[in-house]
Amino acid sequence: MSLTLEQVRRVAHLARIEVSDAEAETTLGHLNGIFGLIEEMQAVDTRGVEPMAHAQDLAQRLRSDRVTEEDCRDAFQAIAPEVEAGLYLVPKVLE
């Protein structure tokens, strides 16, 4: 698939992007290059290849799931201007 200069201008118009003739020509070349690469990748036979998350067989190192910091909620709420039922109260901004 390749685009025409008119199609590039139409896409720019729909996207509300102002492009000069030189920019449209350059963009046309870039987009057609991208479409050419996509066509090459689609031509590769991938039957029998299992999907993978990474090119190398790696495992994520996990840390132990444990609490590392103490609970400071009461200390923080003690210095708050207004608190009710464990929630910070703030002035109403929207009506």
pLDDT in tens, 15-74: 999 999 999 999 999 999 999 999 999 999 999 988 888 888 888 889 899 999 999 999
Domain span holding position 11: 5-43
Q: Say what the pLDDT of residue 74 is.
A: 92
Q: Say what the pLDDT of residue 53 is.
A: 80
The answer to whether the predicted template modeling score (pTM) of the entire model surpasses 0.85 is no
The better pLDDT of the pair 52, 7 is held by 7
79 within some domain: no
> What residues contact residue 12 under an 8 Å CB cut-off, 6+ apart?
18, 19, 24, 27
- In one-letter notation, the amino acid at residue 44 is V
Q: Say what the pLDDT of residue 56 is.
A: 84
- Between CA 39 and CA 92 the distance in angstroms is 56
23 within some domain: yes
Provide the number of structural domains found in the chain: 1
CATH code, domain with 12: 1.10.20
Q: Are 16 and 9 in contact (CB under 8 A)?
A: no
